[in-house]
């Protein structure tokens, strides 16, 4: 009878925790939306749009029907490894090559250019700066793309950037090489990717339209884009690339220059939900009253100027510091926040220390993994428990700020399996990937050089 009574108490306690957690998330979501609406009601301009994960059915690069969760996760691990290698090499590239492949998309976005608007699907790249689409007349255009090639003759607002434009047609440190040839009065652009892919065309000012679930679709006039008609390499299955890095021609930087959209933020759904839900992408105005309660860390100028570098100083497991020297996190200029990398990666000295700290508190047997992840088998365990992990960063005021990881950030688990594999691997660079950024509202402020965040259930749309 005592055992039955204890079991009953356990069940009631679990149910209480489930209800409390649900109420907590519901209350947090309600307060969060109220804060966003307060910004809007206070005169702040807000644009809400969707980030579509590559594996979502709406994505033009979605995997074939029937692809399993394990296969998707293995593909993500491979993309993480490849991207980390390229980022490591990218720190040694010339300023005229972006250190990513043309097919490494994690998220895509719907975006329109021209008057009337012509719709396109662009790959979001936090490591490159140029926003570009294919344009007619084509010299060498790839043929597999979701929408027709942009036709400038069908737009009443097309305005090519002249060679005399000293604001746009200038040498750039962010991958774009504006040049003016003798037989053209327009600013020529040539953009290269580390896999050998290349795109060429001209810079043009055009009207940009973003889909907006927060109100009317906004029009941004005189938006500089690459109108590209000579492409070599692998660019199939999307219409162009939308640069989200820190350079002057990226989408966030251009919007920021206009004053009313000087920050952007996203709230990524957990990896287990990426095939059924889209994530939120928000552009808005900076609010120094910080109604959302974000904590901020400064952006650093690392070895590659386009990346979102931050000063990470430590890691805790179940509240116990791992003892990793802070200098190890800054061997190349800091740690990179990169939504284009699925798995978080740390150099071996950091990874091994974290791995040992987790092994000290996780009692389950380790199972092998083809991508050298730490995997645990909990077969026969009724209610497995997992450690809490926290990343520590230097705050804008100098105090340490925390980035907390929940179970889905650490162990994106396949349904109906007893094996848990964590989302951290050893690599050549220190990168916080998108699996661990999920369920956080993360704000980027390029002008003030800072990133802020707060934990949030991102399955509830912002």
How far apart are the C-alpha atoms of 191 and 198, rounded to whole Å? 6
Ramachandran sector of residue 262 (left: φ over 0; alpha: ψ -120 to 50; beta: rest): alpha
Which among 391, 381, 323 has a CA at the least distance from the CA of 357? 323
**Fold match between domain 93-261 and domain 286-462:** yes
What would the mean pLDDT of 36-50 be, rounded to a whole number? Answer: 67
pLDDT digits (tens, 9 = 90+) for 45-78: 789 999 999 999 999 888 877 788 888 988 888 8
Domain layout of the chain by residue ranges = 93-261, 286-462
DSSP 217: P
Which among 105, 100, 98, 88 has a CA at the least distance from the CA of 146? 105
pLDDT digits (tens, 9 = 90+) for 122-153: 999 888 888 999 999 999 988 888 899 999 99
How far apart are the C-alpha atoms of 410 and 430, rounded to whole Å? 16
pLDDT digits (tens, 9 = 90+) for 167-223: 888 766 454 566 676 667 888 888 877 677 788 999 999 999 988 877 766 678 899
pLDDT of residue 101 exceeding 80, the answer is no
Q: Which CATH class is domain 286-462?
A: mainly beta
Task: Give residue 114's Cα distance to chain centre.
Answer: 26
How far apart are the C-alpha atoms of 212 and 243, rounded to whole Å? 19
pLDDT digits (tens, 9 = 90+) for 395-416: 999 999 999 999 999 998 877 7
Q: What angle do CA 18, 386, 9 make, to 5 degrees?
A: 40
Residue 82: Cβ within 10 Å count: 16
Just give the CATH number of 93-261: 2.40.70.10
Range picked from 101-110, 206-215, 309-318 for highest mean pLDDT: 309-318
How far apart are the C-alpha atoms of 96 and 260, rounded to whole Å? 30
The strand ranges marked E within 244-388 are 263-267, 279-284, 295-300, 309-310, 312-317, 320-321, 335-337, 344-346, 366-367, 375-377
Question: 205: helix, coil or strand?
Answer: strand
* pLDDT score of 180: 73
- Rg of the chain, C-alpha, whole Å: 23
pLDDT digits (tens, 9 = 90+) for 424-456: 999 888 999 999 999 999 999 988 999 999 999
- The pTM of this model reads 0.87
Residue 50: Cβ within 10 Å count: 18
């Amino acid at each position: 009878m005592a055992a039955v009574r204890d079991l009953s108490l356990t069940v009631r306690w679990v149910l209480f925790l489930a209800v409390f957690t649900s109420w907590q998330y519901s209350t947090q979501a309600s307060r969060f939306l109220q804060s966003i609406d307060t910004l809007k009601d206070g005169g702040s301009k807000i644009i809400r749009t969707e980030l579509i994960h590559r594996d979502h059915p709406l994505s033009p690069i979605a995997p074939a029907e029937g692809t399993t969760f394990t296969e998707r996760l293995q593909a993500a691990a491979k993309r993480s490894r490849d991207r980390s290698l390229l980022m490591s090499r990218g720190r040694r590239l010339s300023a005229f090559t972006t250190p990513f492949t043309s097919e490494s998309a994690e998220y895509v976005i719907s975006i329109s250019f021209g008057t009337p608007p012509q719709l396109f699907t662009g790959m979001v790249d936090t490591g490159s700066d140029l926003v570009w689409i294919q344009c007619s007349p084509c010299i060498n255009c790839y043929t597999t793309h979701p929408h027709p090639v942009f036709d400038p003759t069908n737009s009443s607002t097309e305005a090519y950037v002249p060679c005399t434009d000293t604001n746009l047609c200038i040498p750039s440190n962010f991958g774009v090489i504006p040049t003016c040839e003798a037989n053209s009065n327009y600013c020529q652009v040539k953009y290269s990717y580390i896999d050998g892919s290349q795109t060429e065309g001209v810079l043009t000012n055009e009207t940009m339209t973003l889909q907006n679930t927060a109100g009317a679709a906004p029009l941004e006039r005189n938006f500089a884009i690459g109108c590209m008609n000579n492409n070599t390499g692998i660019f199939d299955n999307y219409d162009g690339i939308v640069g989200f890095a820190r350079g002057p021609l990226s989408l966030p930087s251009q919007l920021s220059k206009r004053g009313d959209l000087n920050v952007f933020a996203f709230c990524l759904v957990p990896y287990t939900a990426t095939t059924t839900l889209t994530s939120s992408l928000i552009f808005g105005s900076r609010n120094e009253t910080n109604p959302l309660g974000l904590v901020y860390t400064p952006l650093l100028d690392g070895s590659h100027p386009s990346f979102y570098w931050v000063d990470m100083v430590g890691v805790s497991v179940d509240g116990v510091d791992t003892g990793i020297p802070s200098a190890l996190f800054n061997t190349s200029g800091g740690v990179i926040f990169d939504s284009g990398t699925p798995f978080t990666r740390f150099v071996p000295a950091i990874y091994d220390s974290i791995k040992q700290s987790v092994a000290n508190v996780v009692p389950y047997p380790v199972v092998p993994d083809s991508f050298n992840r730490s995997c645990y088998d909990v077969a026969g365990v009724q209610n497995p428990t997992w450690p809490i992990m926290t990343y520590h960063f230097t705050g804008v005021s100098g105090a340490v700020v925390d980035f907390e990881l929940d179970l889905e950030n650490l162990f994106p688990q396949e349904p109906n399996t007893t094996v848990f594999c964590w989302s951290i691997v050893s690599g050549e660079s220190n990168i916080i990937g998108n699996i661990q950024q999920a369920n956080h509202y993360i704000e980027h402020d390029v002008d003030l050089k800072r990133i802020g965040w707060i934990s949030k259930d991102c399955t509830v749309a912002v």
